């Protein structure tokens, strides 16, 4: 069927549909139809796709988010992350994907405390730094949520041998914007590949490994929430990430602990110094408004064309 058929579907929206739904769903319909024509999709192939989407839902639960995993192996979450933050003001720490393993309400610790609730091996690392605005002013009270996997490659919710919220914690920056905690030098791990995301990897002949990384969510009442990850420069997968999330400026260097006896006696061997720069929410909203204005123009144009059709 031709473009005429696609136009018929795109103009079938009722008067109660919003301009945004016309623009976004209209574009989706156009791309899906183009994809189907371009690849001459048959009923059997379409049914394979329908079953594939159904399986994404069937395998997902509160501990597993296959929709995110499938998006990730296709590079979709990395692309969405980049688009979302393209309009942000410069000079702040780069964002990265949140991934499927975030949990809110992780235990609140004091600065310098450890997120290791149970010994699971690995190299203990002291992580320290400051949270500031783009001019270097400290952001007292900034909330830092961090999480990473155990050396067996599993996050606590995937692993019955780890206690709840192991290797996760919430910290607050002090008067000088400083924070610190003890965690593990992160380990490379495979994303779960026993479901639809794994099937895609197999079809594409790709490995499931992610480089060693620590996840961060850093928030403050008047600043834009930063979701990011840091990547270990020495990990071989930092240059070959299965979900395409690595950005150059969030690759970090882990160093030997040095002369910090207080932490050395607790078995800490490594150190990571990592400063975080946030940008004002107001600034982000201002730049994003420009994008919204451009979209509104497209919607106006679309409405005018539909009403004259």
Q: Least distance (Å) from Fe ion to the CB of residue 15? A: 45
Question: Which residue, 13 or 274, is less far from Fe ion as judged by CB?
Answer: 274
Q: Which residue is nearest to Fe ion (CB)?
A: 99
Residue with tokens 């309400």: 105
Question: Binding segment for Fe ion among 98-106, 171-179, 193-201, 255-263 (CB under 5 A)?
Answer: 98-106
Going from the C-alpha of 194 to that of each of 55, 197, 199, 248, the distances in angstroms are 12, 8, 7, 30
Find residue 231's DSSP bridge partners: 213, 251
Q: Least distance (Å) from Fe ion to the CB of residue 91? A: 26
Rounded distance between C-alpha atoms, residue 218 and residue 231, angstroms: 17
62, containing H or E segment: none
Q: Least distance (Å) from Fe ion to the CB of residue 181? A: 17
Question: Which residue, 99 or 198, is less far from Fe ion as judged by CB?
Answer: 99
Give the pairing type, strands 268-273 and 124-132. parallel
Residue with tokens 């106006």: 300
Three-state DSSP class for residue 5 = helix
The beta-strand segments (E) located in the chain are 124-132, 143-147, 168-172, 178-184, 189-190, 209-210, 213-220, 223-232, 251-252, 255-256, 268-273, 276-277
Question: Which residue, 26 or 99, is less far from Fe ion as judged by CB?
Answer: 99
Cα-only R_g, the chain: 23
Question: Binding segment for Fe ion among 11-19, 96-104, 135-143, 298-306 (CB under 5 A)?
Answer: 96-104
Question: Binding segment for Fe ion among 91-99, 177-185, 233-241, 252-260 (CB under 5 A)?
Answer: 91-99
Question: Which residue, 99 or 177, is less far from Fe ion as judged by CB?
Answer: 99
Q: Least distance (Å) from Fe ion to the CB of residue 99? A: 5
Using CB under 5 A as the binding criterion, the count of chain residues that bind Fe ion stands at 1
Question: Which residue, 13 or 244, is less far from Fe ion as judged by CB?
Answer: 244
Contacts of 25 (CB under 8 A, 6+ apart): 13
Question: Binding segment for Fe ion among 55-63, 80-88, 94-102, 192-200 (CB under 5 A)?
Answer: 94-102
Question: Which residue, 155 or 223, is less far from Fe ion as judged by CB?
Answer: 155
Q: Least distance (Å) from Fe ion to the CB of residue 67? A: 16
Q: Least distance (Å) from Fe ion to the CB of residue 267? A: 24
Task: Encode 15-27: b = buried (16+ Cβ within 10 Å), e = exposed.
Answer: eeeeeeebbeebe
99 binds Fe ion, rule: CB under 5 A:
yes
Q: Least distance (Å) from Fe ion to the CB of residue 204? A: 21
Question: Binding segment for Fe ion among 54-62, 97-105, 168-176, 192-200 (CB under 5 A)?
Answer: 97-105
Three-state DSSP class for residue 123 = coil
Rounded distance between C-alpha atoms, residue 226 and residue 279, angstroms: 9
Give the DSSP per-residue string, 233-292: TT-GGGGS-TT----GGGEE--EE--S-HHHHTTTEEEEEE--EE--BHHHHHHHHHHHH
Interface characters, 6-35, with Fe ion (x: CB under 5 A): ------------------------------
Q: Least distance (Å) from Fe ion to the CB of residue 215? A: 6
Q: Least distance (Å) from Fe ion to the CB of residue 145? A: 13
212 binds Fe ion, rule: CB under 5 A:
no
Question: Binding segment for Fe ion among 39-47, 99-107, 198-206, 236-244 (CB under 5 A)?
Answer: 99-107
Task: Point out which residues bind Fe ion (CB under 5 A).
Answer: 99
């Amino acid at each position: 069927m031709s473009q005429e058929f696609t136009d018929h579907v795109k103009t079938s929206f009722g008067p109660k549909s919003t301009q945004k739904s016309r623009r976004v769903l209209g574009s989706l319909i156009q791309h899906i139809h183009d994809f189907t024509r371009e690849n001459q999709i048959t009923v059997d192939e379409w049914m394979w796709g329908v079953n594939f989407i159904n399986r994404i839902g069937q395998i997902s639960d509160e501990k597993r988010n296959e929709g995110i995993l499938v998006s990730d192996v296709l590079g979709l979450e990395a692309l969405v992350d980049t688009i979302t933050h393209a309009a942000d003001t410069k000079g702040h720490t780069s964002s990265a994907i949140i991934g499927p393993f975030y949990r809110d309400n992780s235990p609140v610790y004091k600065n310098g405390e450890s997120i290791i609730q149970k010994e699971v091996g690995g190299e203990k690392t002291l992580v320290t730094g400051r949270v500031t605005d783009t001019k270097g002013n400290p952001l007292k009270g900034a909330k830092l949520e961090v999480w990473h996997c155990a050396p067996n490659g599993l996050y606590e919710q995937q692993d019955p041998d780890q206690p709840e919220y192991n290797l996760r914690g919430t910290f607050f920056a002090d008067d000088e914007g400083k924070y610190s905690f003890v965690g593990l030098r992160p380990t490379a791990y495979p994303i779960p590949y026993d479901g639809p995301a794994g099937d895609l990897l197999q079809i594409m002949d790709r490995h499931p490994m992610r480089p060693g990384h620590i996840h961060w969510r850093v928030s403050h009442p008047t600043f834009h929430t930063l979701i990011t990850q840091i990547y270990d420069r020495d990990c071989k997968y930092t240059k070959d990430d299965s979900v395409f999330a690595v950005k150059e400026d969030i690759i970090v260097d882990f160093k030997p602990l040095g002369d910090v006896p207080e932490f050395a006696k607790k078995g800490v061997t490594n150190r990571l110094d990592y400063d975080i720069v946030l940008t004002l929410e107001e600034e982000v909203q201002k730049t994003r408004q420009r994008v919204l204005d451009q979209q509104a123009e497209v919607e106006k144009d679309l409405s005018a064309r539909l009403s004259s059709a």
